Structure 1
Amino acid sequence: MNGPAIVVEHVGRRFGALEAVRDVTLTVERAEIFGLVGPDGAGKTTLMRMLAGVLHPDAGRIVLEGIDVAADPERAKTALGYMPQRFGLYEDLTVDENIYFYGELFEVQRAQYRARMAQLLDAAGLAPFGRRLAGQLSGGMKQKLGLVCALIHTPKVLLLDEPTTGVDPVSRRDFWAILYQLREQGVTIVISTAYMDEAQRCSRLALLHAGEVRECATPTSLKRRLPGALLAIAGSDPRAIRDALAGVPGVLGTLLMGDRVHVRVDDGTLRGPELDARLAERALAHAPIETVEPGIEDVFVALVGESA
């Protein structure tokens, strides 16, 4: 089939007075990893649930692999794998039994199921743990088991709603290695994430805020759109440094980044010495001011106009 894997046209969804998703239009190309990024309440989970056919949009339509999701959700489900934030693993069943359950749920043929399970368990590093109860797995292993269950019926599209939240860094790395393998196999992946380092691994990103898509582009393109220059200032009291520089002429925005403050300015060469002098006046010790490349978090804060 030609054309995008997913087409979203003017989709909206309300919960009473709350407009959770507002007039969202986007496309997801085949075999790309498409990221949804935004703070809590931005509409990521609501949009993901509509893509999966779990929720019906109040307005607009979603077409996934040529199937109108709202008009034919059962048919759409055969083409997609969906892993919500709290995936429905059965902790009193073993790894193998959980996978078997989902295979039966999607009516995967027995011979096909066995070969597919062996392949997925090996890719996820779970082959030695087939007889272990799911409740005895670590957080990262549970997420990988959830991914295997979502993939057992060989979907063309994979929807992942913040799958690595609370997972240790090594397991997150392993999880993304699996996603890259899936992309190479032609699987289209839509993932929402709260981790900015993960967002930078996506082919394209949609930045959501208050239910709207504010920007949609590649991570590199989004970084290039950031106006001004970005300066990094490290110090023992980064909050005091941020507060001292907020509202200073030429400062377009500030963002706390651990023990550093990212300061977006209109002219890095001009403003660097001025900011240095202001901090000296306030007796705020700091390391030399550096010009740095922006990250996705810097871009997001700047584009939605929020103060960090």
Structure 2
Amino acid sequence: MNRFDLHMHSCYSSDGQFTPKELIEIAQKKGLKTIALSDHDCISGVKEMIRLGNEVGIEVIPAIECSTSIGYTDVHLLGYGIDLDNDYFQNLLEKTQVKSRNAFSTRCDRLRAKYGVEIDEEAILKEANGKNPWFVMCTHMFNDPRYQAIPDFKDYIPGGKRSDPAPVNFFWDKCQYGSDLFVYVPMPDFLESVQKIHEAGGLAIVAHPFTTFYKNDEMLKILLESGVDGIEAYSNYHTPEQNVYYENLAKEHHLLITCGSDFHGEKKPSIQMGEYGLEKDGSVWLERFKEKLKAAR
């Protein structure tokens, strides 16, 4: 059985911890034979990761996790096997980073207005030191004794049922479209991003779809007509029922099935590389994925 993990992040991501070298060392300890580095809107560490993997006999598939939008809904899109010299993907981070930073300031304003919390943006940005400031801000906010009695925070304070990782869960639970904390960030269009991945010789796979497409006919129609190649059916963000649902959906529509931990390190401490809720052998899915990847190239 080929143990694999097709979704992880390095220090080149705004929320990743480990260097490519450290990721390879972790993959060795986990007994993984095939992995993919899929940093957020960034391919800076991929060539280094491939070289290091080759040195120890670990196959590293080039990848990127693209921030995209379907209307007001954020959808993360994985691009596998893309040309690493492609101008669009080399410059993607610069385009999305500015929008994300501006959105952070607006989100702080919304949090202050709704909950009366004090947020020192300048201090938060300094402490984040170029990484995603949302994690730093949420950690301070949920650990502050002054705010732990706020009803909306009870699940995210230390020990709460959604506290690991609190910044990620709070964002997905409380800050999506329809909430008064929602901030529209005009990320690249989902359909255009699928096309960009294909133009760069890659495969487009929807990352951790969790509730976005789950039994949602309107969104499913967009997904199935978009030209995507597959779905990351098994993910740490899915319930067991969602894992099975997306596996069956992919099989029904002849889409590729991938599995990924979304390993980040300290920002998502409960997530371990190589673990994503799959309790059976997924080698057949991996081989089909690699065959399609070879054909795309």
| The structure with more strand, counted as a fraction of residues | 1
> TM-score if structure 1 supplies the norm length?
0.29
Structure number with bigger Rg: 1
> TM-score if structure 2 supplies the norm length?
0.30
| The structure with more helix, counted as a fraction of residues | 2
